[in-house]
Chain A
Amino acid sequence: VKKVLEIALGVVTSIGGFLEAGSLATSAQAGAAFGFRLLWAIALGTLCLIFLVEMSGRLAAVSHHTIASAMRERFGFDFFVVPLVTVALVSLLTLAAELGGVCVALQLATGVSFPWFVLPVLVVVWAVLWRGSFGQIEKGVSLLGLVTLAFLVAVFRLDPPLGEVAAGLVPSLPEHDAGRYWLLAVSILGASLTPYLFYFYSSGAIEDRWDDSHLTVNRSVAVGGMSFGGVLAAAVLVVAATVFLPRGVRVESYEQLALLLTDAFGAWGFWLFVAAFGIACLGAVLEITLAVAYLIAQGFGWNWGENVAPRDAARFAATYTLALVVAALPVATGVDPLRLTNLSMVLSAVTLPVATLPFLVLMNDRKYVPGHANGRLGNAVVLVVVVLACVLAVVSLPLELVGGG
């Protein structure tokens, strides 16, 4: 019974914690511009994420290493510094985008400009990190994040044509705006596979003291949680395709996005969106801040852990404090959070090989995962999707420039 409860809680928190500014914005932009046609990108990204999350949990449970510490040990610091710097920079940019998302949610609710909220949000997030434990942060925010299920309910209320929705799962070439189509596909893949996700997951598994006995929980959470999470991202795309596309609205600001649920829920729709968006972004802010601190602390061999008192992991606490301050700068100066989100998702896709390929090597090293090394299918899926996302990102940028999307 305890195991079943653990699995259920893991799956539920994964669902609640899946959506964030990146997946929400890119899915909505894709739906508004191309209808259901980019659903395949969400399906592909989710499939790859299931493998990556399962691998990172398996690595932690079997080797008792996080990805960062195992990489550093296996390849040496001189090599590890490349993924360390790359993932840290992309994660900081993503953190800025998510922080901007929380502030935009407050702006939507009050009408007060989003930069005014940076400082109060920063203080609240920092206090939660300083005082809270890993379990409280992970489960608390993720359970609140279940409000994002509103997007799934909206799909049923809007009753989209199911045949067309299903057809969107099959990759197809665009009829117009090829550059924008591929760039959105890349952004969706970048949003689904943001490296902080699986780096964070492996650190969380160590925080929760996982061992071999958690392999079933790990597999269930990876498959169940990420699949349902992917369904939520797909729901956002379907709702945007149903609400925005027929009206000719292309999403270029969060103010437009705020009307996503009003057709389905009327007056409740606006507030549901604000709550779902704000909570999803807040959860992502907490997770990414911790992920950056985990990565850097593990990379340099410092004491780390959200379950450790700050005075016993001072450099870890200083790192998340500094990460928050750095990420707050662009938001405080008024940089458009949606543009930050789009930029961070594309960069996330471009840098995927740097973050994941050394990890794949680790997962095939029997010294780290004795008896639990990757199968061919897992290797192939991750390799193909990661290389595809990177190549598409590099190719679609000039296409977008020439095509003028």
Chain B
Amino acid sequence: MLVRAEATLGAVLLLSGCSGAATAADVTALASWAASAEMVAEAWAAGTVPRAYGTRAVRTVHHGLKDRRRHLRRHPVGVDIDEALGRLDRAVADLSDAIERGERGRAASTRTRLQAEARTLRAIAGRLEARS
């Protein structure tokens, strides 16, 4: 009873799925974080956002990815996404470093990698959704 109540509260708080079967939603959320990082990279490279925002936004992306991965570890998706997530992690770390050092050109090239990983994750989410 208590577990169910906690789950309900969690759903309200997160406005996102907490069910064990919600793996496609988890992968979609990972793709969303990848796309968010891409937007931050684009904005930072174009000089439309300040460095303080860029640094914090990348940190938020990092936390968002970590939370979703923790959930995915408890409810495996049945397809190998570790490789894509590894590449995504490296791209996010590179973006963070580029912003820290003020290297806009490097941020622009990281953007392309983030875009590719977001696309890969969206395709995996699509396959999972079709399967369910």
Contacts and interface: CB of A to CB of B under 8 A. Distances in A.
Contacts of B21: 404
A180 B14 CA distance: 11
A247 B35 contact: yes
B17 A259 contact: no
Given A259-B40, A270-B49, A405-B16, A248 B29 contact: no
Nearest to A29: B15
Interface string B5-24: 00110011111111101101
Given A253-B64, A401-B18, A346 B12 contact: yes
Nearest to A254: B60
Contacts of A108: 53, 56
Contacts of B49: 258-259, 262, 267, 270
Contacts of B18: 401, 404
A254 to B, nearest CB: 9
A400 B60 CA distance: 24
Interface string A243-263: 000011110110110110010
Contact of A252 (B40, B57, B64, B118): B64
A250 B47 contact: no
A111 B39 contact: no
A180 B48 contact: no
Contacts of A404: 17-19, 21-22, 24-25
B25 to A, nearest CB: 5
A250 B19 contact: no
Contacts of B51: 111
B65 to A, nearest CB: 11
Contact of A267 (B22, B28, B47): B47
Q: Is chain B's binding surface mostly helix, strand, loop or mixed?
A: helix
A364 interface: no
A183 B16 CA distance: 10
Interface string B28-41: 11011101101110
B111 to A, nearest CB: 12
B79 interface: no
Q: How large is the interface on B (under 10, 10 to 19, 20 to 34, 35 or more residues)?
A: 35 or more
Contact of A256 (B15, B36, B50): B36
A405 B12 contact: no
Given A270-B53, A397-B12, A400-B11, A405 B17 contact: yes
Interface in A103-145: 107-112
B15 A401 contact: no
Interface string B89-132: 00000000000000000000000000000100010000001000
Contacts of B16: 180, 252, 405
Nearest to B125: A248
A111 B52 contact: yes
Given A29-B15, A180-B15, A248-B31, A110 B7 contact: no
Contact of A270 (B7, B22, B50): B50
Nearest to A252: B64
B52 A249 contact: no
Contacts of B39: 247, 249, 256, 259
A401 B12 CA distance: 9
B72 interface: no
A111 B48 contact: no
B43 interface: yes
Contacts of B35: 247-249
A258 B19 contact: no
A405 B60 contact: no
A342 interface: yes
Contacts of B8: 397-398, 401
A158 to B, nearest CB: 15
Interface in A149-208: 176-177, 179-180, 183-184, 187
Given A111-B53, A248-B122, A266 B48 contact: yes
A250 B28 contact: yes
B56 A255 contact: yes
Contacts of B129: 176
Contacts of B57: 255-256, 258
Given A248-B28, A404-B25, 6 more contacts: A107-B56, A108-B56, A111-B51, A256-B60, A267-B48, A403-B19
Interface of B: 7-8, 11-19, 21-22, 24-25, 28-29, 31-33, 35-36, 38-40, 43, 46-53, 55-57, 60-61, 64, 118, 122, 129
- For the complex of A and B, 9 pairs with smallest distance between CB atoms: A404-B22, A111-B52, A404-B17, A250-B32, A255-B57, A404-B19, A255-B60, A267-B48, A248-B35
